[in-house]
Structure formats: C-alpha cells, structure tokens
Amino acid sequence: MSVIRLMTCDTAVEAYLIKGRLKNEGIETFITNENFSNLMPHYTRILNSGIQIMISDADYAEASKILELNIKQELICPECQSTNIKFSLGKNKIKKIFVILISLFISIPFNNLKTVYKCQDCKAEF
C-alpha cells in the first residue's frame, strides 16, 4: 500500500469539501501543501503546486468513481482522436517566453500562463 495524489485543488474549501465527501463514503484521505498554497496563492498550479488530496492507492479507483474523475491518463485529440499530443504554450509564444524571462530576472513569479495541448496530426489546440 502506498499513498498517491488523488487530485489537486485551487482552494482549501474545495479540498475539504472533497475530503468530507469521501469520508462520508468511508474513504480516508489527507490534505497536503495547504499552508504553502494559502501563503503563496500565485504559485498555485505552477510547478505542480496547489492543495493536494492524498489517498491510499487501494482506494484510488473507488474515490475516482465517486468523484467521477477521468482516470484515463492518455490524452486524445477531440478533433481527430489522435494520441500524438504535445504540450505547448499556444498562441503568443514569444510574449509568454518574454514574460517568463522577465519574471525570472526580477524574481517575481509570473501569473499562470495558459498552456495548451497541441495535436501533432491535425494541429488543433485544446
């Protein structure tokens, strides 16, 4: 048995609501990274941060079913059903790279840049 991450939430309220819902079903979870995310909310979703709900791997499938999470890990293009997907910065790539460089230079974190997945076969972004 090992502990794995069930999901990442943006707020503590959301995380505790999910924790309570799972507890009602008899599934024990715990929340981690809460203090950091409350103190540094602008880092949420950057570098895999955010309030994380941790769960035993034995309970993962049942919890996913209760929360109706999509546990399928493979990305599929909505246009052509291809699995040849790559991570991309989307439009205004040069502007986003410039923002990242400036934020590194002045040591202030950049806001969450919207990233997209790009299908390598039909070039659709989603």
Q: Is 56 in the site for Zn ion (CB under 5 A)?
A: no
Q: Using the rule CB under 5 A, is 77 a contact of Zn ion?
A: yes
Among 10, 25, 57, 79, binds Zn ion (CB under 5 A): 79
Of the pair 31, 85, the CB lying nearest Zn ion is at: 85
Smallest gap from Cβ 124 to Zn ion, in A, equals: 5
51-56 and 29-32 strand pairing? antiparallel
For the bound state, the minimum distance from the C-beta of residue 84 to Zn ion, rounded and expressed in Å, comes to: 8
Which lies closer to Zn ion via its Cβ, residue 61 or residue 122? 122
| CA 11 from centre of chain | 13
Q: How far apart are CA 11 and CA 41, in angstroms?
A: 9
Smaller CB separation from Zn ion, 46 or 75: 75
Q: Which residues pair with 31 in a beta bridge?
A: 53
State how far the Cα of 79 lies from the Cα of 125, in Å rounded to an integer: 9
Beta strands in the chain (DSSP E): 3-9, 29-32, 51-56, 85-88, 116-119
State which of residues 71, 87, 122, 125 lies at the interface with Zn ion (CB under 5 A).
122
Helix (H) or strand (E) holding 10, with range, is none
118 part of the interface to Zn ion, by CB under 5 A: no
The pair of three-digit structure tokens given for residue 24, joined into one six-digit string = 């009602």
Nearer to Zn ion, 22 or 77 (CB): 77
Residues of the shown chain interacting with Zn ion in the complex, contacts defined by CB under 5 A:
77, 79-80, 82, 119, 121-122, 124
